[in-house]
Amino acid sequence: MAAKNTEGFGTPTFQPADANTVANYVADQTIAAQNVQQQTNAIASLQALFQNYGMTNIANAIVGAVQKGYTTDTIQIGMQAPSSDPSLNALNQAYTQRFAGNVARVKAGLPPLDPATYISNETAYKSALRSAGLPKGFYDSQDAFAKLIANDVSPTEFNQRISSAKQAIDNTDPYYTQALQNMYGLDAGHMVAHLLDPEAAAPLVEKQAKAVEYGAAAARQGLSQSPVSDYEAYAGGLGTGVGAEAGMAQIASMTPGLTTLAQISGDQYSQKTAEQEVFGGLASAQRKREQLVSQEEQRFTGRSNVDSKSLSGDNVGQF
């Protein structure tokens, strides 16, 4: 149990332990105050002490209960169960909110963790996340840790999950990982986050992950990179719905010849035009291709100096 201080309020020596220790310590510190100023100093000291553990609300609630004259025994009971008394009920709410994972554990038939173990697990989770370079905002809140604790995920198991996800990323397609970096600046941490918990990571990378397939396929075919917004539109189901790999292969096949024909005709044709037809099903892009092929056939009386089959686009949308 923490050392009692009835002479003053020097440097507290509290270490997170069980609920009784918390209640006794705060009660001892508060009851020791002999005047308003000393009590104010005690409250400020307790708030600073518990802040590192995310327990400021608990400290405040205990102080309030002691100021109303409740004994430590009553406070201990009030911390563990709801009460009709506003002060004790506030204490219970603060305690259960801070250790929400325990509430879920009890409902699931699991034993609650004592506060010291609970806080130790949180510290270990956070250390594993930072060591893996996971993005800020991913599973680094008390609510997220509460879910892990509620599901009985030990720090060791959590670290193993991160290691497995990192290994999967390390073995993935280099075109894909490079496209993630080029298009969105996503580092390995964001990709690990996606594999570690897709539901939690979805706001960070789900949309990007689909769009990157198009960027990676373009790079694999030696094509130029289009605007990210275009890839996001293709990934969102725009137009024909042709897959990234098949579509980019078709574009790589047809674009050079059609670009040459456009130059001969004093016209323009680009990779962007091909993408608009293959992925977007844009009628004007299709007409442009058909017009260029027709002009070439007319110039050579049905014989093209560019393979008309590769330019015809007969397979557009058929992959």
Average pLDDT value for residue range 64-76: 72
| Closest-CA residue to 213 (of 187, 239, 242, 255) | 242
- Whether the CB-CB separation of 39 and 33 falls below 8 Å is answered with yes
The mean per-residue pLDDT over the stretch 159-180 comes to 86
Quote the CA–CA distance of 201 and 205 in Å, as a whole number.
6
> Is the whole-model pTM more than 0.75?
no
Confidence band, pLDDT 50/70/90 cuts, at residue 100: very high
Residue (of 103, 140, 101) closest to 124 by Cα position: 140
Region 282-286 average pLDDT: 94
* pLDDT on residue 194: 77
Contacts of 172 (CB under 8 A, 6+ apart): 191
Q: Where are the domains of the chain?
A: 19-98, 118-225, 237-312
CB–CB of 292/267 below 8 Å?
yes
What is the percentage of the chain residues whose pLDDT exceeds 90?
A: 34
